[in-house]
């Protein structure tokens, strides 16, 4: 739900009336989607629809499919590209990673909306492998089913090279020098020479 809430808040910022209408319909879609879910554990069930009743105690009569179609139509009409950035996906729990990718694949594939995902592909693939089993052919080729799933979902992968150790060391030392200046601590020439990174 936080995902939809964050997108709706951002879409409400521009003064573009079609995006505002799309954001309102997207919120209705999210509420209908959540209200269609019933959760339960050990004999206790909760209908999430109860959370989204209006002030008269009624759920919207717009069905989920119609709501989705109207959201798609409004986004297409707006002709405005929406880019959603998601960072540190690999820091989520396995369950959260699986839920996020299920959301992206099945629910959040809206027109004019693009997702930029920052992640450690190996960690995310391992989390997804538990959820998505390999086909016999993939197993014979030794492929990780999580990685295969990501390859199908991600259209333009961009892999960043690992930073070089020397560059990281220089960056850290520059940070230390700036901090010492900011708090008015001066290193002697000998201290600076000892901590200098060779070229």
Task: Render pLDDT for 27-56 as a digit per residue (tens, 0 to 9).
Answer: 888 887 776 554 444 444 444 444 444 545
* Mean pLDDT, residues 102-116: 89
Task: Render pLDDT for 43-99 as a digit per residue (tens, 0 to 9).
Answer: 444 444 444 445 454 445 567 788 889 889 988 988 888 899 999 999 999 999 998
Q: 28: how many CB neighbours lie within 10 A of its CB?
A: 20
Q: SS3 of 44, please?
A: strand
pLDDT category, 194, cuts 50, 70, 90?
Answer: confident
pLDDT confidence of residue 118 = 94
pLDDT confidence of residue 89 = 94
How, if at all, do strands 82-86 and 113-117 pair? Answer: parallel
Q: 128: how many CB neighbours lie within 10 A of its CB?
A: 23
pLDDT category, 26, cuts 50, 70, 90?
Answer: confident
pLDDT category, 141, cuts 50, 70, 90?
Answer: low
**This prediction's pTM:** 0.66
* Mean pLDDT, residues 171-194: 82
Domain ranges in the chain are 1-78, 81-160, 165-195
Dump strand ranges (E) for 138-177.
none
110, 104, 162: which is closest to 128 by C-alpha? 104
130, 160, 128: which is closest to 147 by C-alpha? 128
For residue 40, the surrounding DSSP H or E stretch is: strand 38-41
Tell me what percent of the residues of the chain surpass a pLDDT of 90.
Answer: 19
């Amino acid at each position: 739900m936080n995902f939809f809430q964050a997108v709706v808040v951002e879409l409400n910022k521009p003064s573009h009336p079609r995006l505002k209408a799309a954001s309102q319909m997207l919120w209705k879609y999210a509420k209908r989607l959540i209200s269609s879910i019933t959760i339960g554990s050990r004999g206790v069930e909760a209908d999430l629809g109860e959370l989204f009743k209006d002030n008269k105690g009624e759920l919207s009569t717009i069905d989920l499919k119609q709501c989705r179609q109207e959201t798609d139509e409004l986004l297409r009409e707006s002709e405005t590209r929406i880019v959603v950035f998601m960072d540190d996906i690999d820091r989520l729990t396995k369950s959260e990673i699986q839920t996020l990718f299920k959301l992206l694949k099945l629910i959040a594939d809206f027109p004019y909306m693009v997702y930029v995902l920052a992640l450690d592909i190996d960690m995310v693939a391992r989390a997804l492998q538990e959820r998505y089993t390999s086909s016999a052919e993939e197993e014979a080729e030794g492929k990780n089913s999580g990685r295969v799933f990501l390859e199908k979902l991600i259209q333009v992968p961009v892999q960043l090279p690992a930073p070089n150790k020397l560059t990281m060391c220089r960056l850290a030392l520059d940070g230390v020098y700036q901090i010492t200046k900011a708090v008015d601590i001066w290193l002697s020439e000998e201290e600076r020479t000892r901590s200098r990174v060779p070229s």
